[in-house]
């Protein structure tokens, strides 16, 4: 079975996977005068733009559940930064590291994994900074933060699997990579990242939105910091996400079985 083969490859090449994840981070910021600082500067600029637009420009940045709008904003944007990076970098991962496949015979299945790990490390750094911001502004995390590792694990699992699926297809066809990139903006605005999805009053739209895995993950992070809601209070949402995760895994394994032998020739 493909899943057994992939697990064995990850166990066998586990040291190389972590070394390549480290190398991927270094490669991303190498050559820049500010180096690693860009991992913080870029998200900070994006956050400032949205904060200024909604709170200063549109004057619509109202407190949410007793928390300042700025804290509510970053609790959604910071998980999105990892998601958006994986939509692009995860999809381009196999093509970007084609030499590992064509020259070194490195297992294809592990490439999206180390790319996901490298981006997740940046995500962990940003999450630590976000928690410090909450504390500095007088809103230390409550007991609900103990469920944060669950949502972070689900986030990592979903986008690692997605990267395997999309990376394989993008290696076969550049059109698929362009298709994914063209939908990123739509996904951002339709997933309740910077607007309150719970405020929707049209039932059928709200139901569709609640099936959106991006919305589930972002709302999960917000539940830990802003909404103060336990994951088991909405068991159906968690169940729907798990089903979507399993279906994505099945699809990724099917694509892997179909195209893995063709990848070296295509690249």
Q: Considering Cα of 147, then 212, then 54, then 89, what sign does the dihedral take?
A: positive
Distance in angstroms (rounded) separating the CA atoms of residues 180 and 178: 5
If one counts the domains in the chain, the total is: 1
Give pLDDT tens digits along the chain (267 positions). Answer: 778 888 888 888 889 889 989 888 888 776 555 566 667 878 888 888 888 887 776 656 677 888 888 999 999 999 999 999 999 999 999 999 888 888 777 888 899 999 999 999 999 999 999 999 999 998 998 999 999 999 999 999 999 999 999 999 998 888 888 999 899 999 998 888 888 777 777 788 888 888 899 999 999 999 999 988 899 888 999 999 999 999 999 999 999 988 887 877 676
Give the residues across from 64 on adjacent strands: 67
**DSSP secondary structure string, 33-76?**
TTGGGHHHHHHHHHHHHHHIIIIIIS-----BTTB-HHHHHHHH
**108 Cβ contact partners less than 8 Å away, ≥ 6 residues apart:** 94, 101, 168, 256, 260, 263
Dihedrals φ, ψ of 67, to 5°?
-105, 145
Structural domain for 35, as ranges: 2-266
What is this structure's pTM?
0.91
Contact assessment for residue 110 and residue 17, using Cβ atoms and an 8 Å cutoff: yes
């Amino acid at each position: 079975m493909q899943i057994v083969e992939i697990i064995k490859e990850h166990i066998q090449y586990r040291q190389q996977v972590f070394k390549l994840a480290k190398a991927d981070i270094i490669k991303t910021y190498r050559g820049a005068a500010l180096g690693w600082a860009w991992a913080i500067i870029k998200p900070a600029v994006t956050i400032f733009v949205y904060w200024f637009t909604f709170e200063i420009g549109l004057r619509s940045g109202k407190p949410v559940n007793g928390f300042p709008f700025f804290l509510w904003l970053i609790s959604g944007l910071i998980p999105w930064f990892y998601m958006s990076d994986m939509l692009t970098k995860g999809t381009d991962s196999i093509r970007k590291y084609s030499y590992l496949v064509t020259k070194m015979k490195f297992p294809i299945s592990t490439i999206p994994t180390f790319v996901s790990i490298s981006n997740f490390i940046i995500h962990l750094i940003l999450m630590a900074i976000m928690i410090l911001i909450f504390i500095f502004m007088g809103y230390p995390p409550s007991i609900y933060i103990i469920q944060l590792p669950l949502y972070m694990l689900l986030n990592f699992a979903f986008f690692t699997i997605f990267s395997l699926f999309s990376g394989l297809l993008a290696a076969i066809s550049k059109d698929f990579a362009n298709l994914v990139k063209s939908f990123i903006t739509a996904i951002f605005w339709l997933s309740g990242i910077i607007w309150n999805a719970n405020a929707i009053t049209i039932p059928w739209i709200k139901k569709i939105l609640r099936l959106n895995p991006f919305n589930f993950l972002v709302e999960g992070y917000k539940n830990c910091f802003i909404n103060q809601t336990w994951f088991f209070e909405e068991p159906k949402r968690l169940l729907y996400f798990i089903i979507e995760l399993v279906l994505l895994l099945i699809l990724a394994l099917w694509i892997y079985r179909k195209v893995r032998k063709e990848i070296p020739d295509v690249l």
